[in-house]
A = this chain, B = another copy of it.
């Protein structure tokens, strides 16, 4: 999606450790109008898939998930990170390792919000190693729900999470795909959705 690639080139910064900082519009400060365009593009990619619910993980995925959900006209459920005393005990959970933070955390969803009738679209801001997504995928599976696909704003393809999902036959739509990046260049690829 050229709109997003241009925004990354204009506003993004590459930091050591393969970190792409896009906090001026995507995950700290939020350019709501811009994120709405990303949500619309995700809708265009999954509009024929009978999505019943969007699943994301707090906090950076919420804005994009809500933008897309408005087009699908379905609810968003966001998985909570860590221990939450008022989530209750009747939950699905999964362990996720964060390479950015160098530690493991759990993600949790109340059982009442997922059912075997659901056809779930997972949305997140980034798809990198795929750890968060694999955790959400386990939760979808534990709930007996169907996984319609995974959508991300930015995929760091060289970190292989998206490749693993595709190899498993999962439909993946990444609005900007980064093949490689260095301090002064970002090389974009594609997510294969046009083939």
Contact = CB atoms under 8 A, between A and B. Distances in A.
Interface string A96-125: 000011100000011011000000000000
A117 B109 CA distance: 40
A29 B75 contact: yes
Nearest to A65: B30
Interface residues of A, number: 39
A148 interface: no
Describe A's contact surface by its main secondary structure.
mixed
A55 to B, nearest CB: 10
Interface string A13-55: 0010001010110001111110110000000000000000000
A80 B28 contact: yes
Given A76-B30, A78-B30, A86-B100, A66 B63 contact: yes
Contacts of A85: 100-102
Given A30-B76, A85-B102, 10 more contacts: A21-B86, A23-B110, A28-B87, A29-B110, A30-B62, A33-B70, A36-B70, A63-B63, A66-B67, A85-B101
Interface of A: 15, 19, 21, 23-24, 28-33, 35-36, 58-59, 62-63, 65-67, 69-70, 73, 75-78, 80, 84-87, 100-102, 109-110, 112-113
13 contacts: A23-B87, A28-B110, A29-B75, A30-B62, A30-B76, A32-B69, A33-B70, A36-B70, A58-B58, A59-B78, A85-B101, A85-B102, A86-B100
